[in-house]
Amino acid sequence: MGVIRKTKAVTTVLNIFENKNEAKSVVSLIELVKGDMNKTTVYRILDRLEQDGFIHSFNGKDGLKWYAKCNGCSAHKHSDKHPHFQCKECDKVECLSLEVNIPILKNHKVDSTDILLIGQCESCSV
Amino acid sequence: MGVIRKTKAVTTVLNIFENKNEAKSVVSLIELVKGDMNKTTVYRILDRLEQDGFIHSFNGKDGLKWYAKCNGCSAHKHSDKHPHFQCKECDKVECLSLEVNIPILKNHKVDSTDILLIGQCESCSV
DNA sequence: CTAATTTCGCAACTCAGTTGCATTAGTACA
DNA sequence: TGTACTAATGCAACTGAGTTGCGAAATTAG
Ligand SMILES: [Mn+2]
Ligand SMILES: [Mn+2]
Ligand SMILES: [Zn+2]
Ligand SMILES: [Zn+2]
């Protein structure tokens, strides 16, 4: 049984991620759905969608929270791990399907690895 | 000629980084020098020390700002790039002297790479 | 010692993210 | 189709990291 009720607000947020395969900052999402729903609701919906494996979150270069669609994750298996790229000009973020090899760390138990490449995207590096 | 005046406050902050080779969050630094100086001063001193290549900054897992001592950097050459490890139990951060290979990204100009490993440190993984 | 200039303290602000609570709206089931 | 249970929402108030403006104090060059 899904933890999630299909409310109008959930559908709206879900559609944003379904239609454009693009990472979104929470701030931009709140702006995008302003009028349709409260910012608290946005935060809470994102929480639930992440728990259910529909989206994943990460911190952008300024420490703000970003979300993007997952590929092949579920509530019990979050397998879609990958680095991100953020453009320092236009701020846009891309999910990268890159394999990065991290050497083993002695005496540490590593659970996850956050990798953020920063630079200029294709449009901005002309 | 240094851009920095050797004020009492600067010396205090500098000593914290000199004596213990340990990363510090701004929040913890403010707490540490509370009574000696204002939090605005802490932020401004950290800015200046970073520009001068004495310390470097990065975002921890919660999006907060952290600082640690640099090795071999100067105002004009910030060469001490490396990944960081943050313990999810005790929150402590370590600078890692690991070389991580990031594959070339087509159509992107990559300026820097932020890598944060998250897990349990030696003391916390018992 | 003096003047130029940087640095500091303070108070007020910004803004992302959170919390508590009363109200609304999905959903399961009779 | 109606009812009852409970998840989800709106709203307003809050939290806390980080910033800004400005007058006062401290550093440093000469
Ligand atoms: Mn992603
Ligand atoms: Mn470091
Ligand atoms: Zn760009
Ligand atoms: Zn630890």
Chain A: residue whose CA lies nearest to B106: A122
Task: Give me the mean pLDDT over the A92-120 stretch.
Answer: 95
Given a cut of 50, whether residue A92 has pLDDT beyond it is yes
Task: Give me the mean pLDDT over the B8-17 stretch.
Answer: 97
Task: Give me the mean pLDDT over the B1-6 stretch.
Answer: 70
- B20 vs A120: CA distance, rounded Å: 36
- A120 vs A125: CA distance, rounded Å: 5
Helix axes A8-19, A39-51, angle to 10 degrees: 70
Given a cut of 70, whether residue A88 has pLDDT beyond it is yes
Query: In chain A, which residues have their Cβ closer than 8 Å to the Cβ of B98?
Result: 102-103, 105
Given a cut of 90, whether residue B74 has pLDDT beyond it is no
Chain B: residue whose CA lies nearest to A116: B114
What pLDDT score was predicted for residue A1?
Answer: 35
What pLDDT score was predicted for residue B1?
Answer: 35
Given a cut of 60, whether residue B60 has pLDDT beyond it is yes
Beta-strand pair B84-87/B109-120: parallel
Report which of A97, A102, A94 is spatially closest to residue A118, judged by C-alpha positions. A94
- B91 vs B60: CA distance, rounded Å: 9
What pLDDT score was predicted for residue B78?
Answer: 77
What pLDDT score was predicted for residue B3?
Answer: 65
**Which pLDDT band holds residue A78 (cuts at 50, 70, 90)?**
confident
Give the residue with minimal CA–C1' separation from C5. B5
Q: What contacts A39, CB < 8 A, 6 or more positions away? A: A30
Q: Give the tokens for residue A112.
A: 């996850």
For residue A67, which phi and psi values (nearest 5 degrees)? -135, 150
**Which pLDDT band holds residue A75 (cuts at 50, 70, 90)?**
confident
Q: Cβ B113–A117 below 8 Å, yes or no?
A: yes
Q: Measured in angstroms, how far is the CA atom of residue A94 from the centroid of ligand 1?
A: 7
Q: What SS3 state is found at B117?
A: strand
- A88 vs A119: CA distance, rounded Å: 6
Among the four given CATH numbers 1.10.10.10, 3.40.50.1100, 2.40.50.140, 3.10.129.10, the one describing domain A8-119:
1.10.10.10
What pLDDT score was predicted for residue A3?
Answer: 62
For residue A43, which phi and psi values (nearest 5 degrees)? -55, -45
> What pTM was computed for the model?
0.94
Helix axes B39-51, B8-19, angle to 10 degrees: 70
The share of chain B scoring above pLDDT 70, in percent, equals 98
Given a cut of 70, whether residue B45 has pLDDT beyond it is yes
Mutate to test the interface with A, among B64, B90, B102, B121 (most CBs of A within 10 A): B102
Q: Cβ A118–B114 below 8 Å, yes or no?
A: yes
Whole-number mean pLDDT of chain A?
Answer: 93
CB B37 within 8 A of CB B46: no
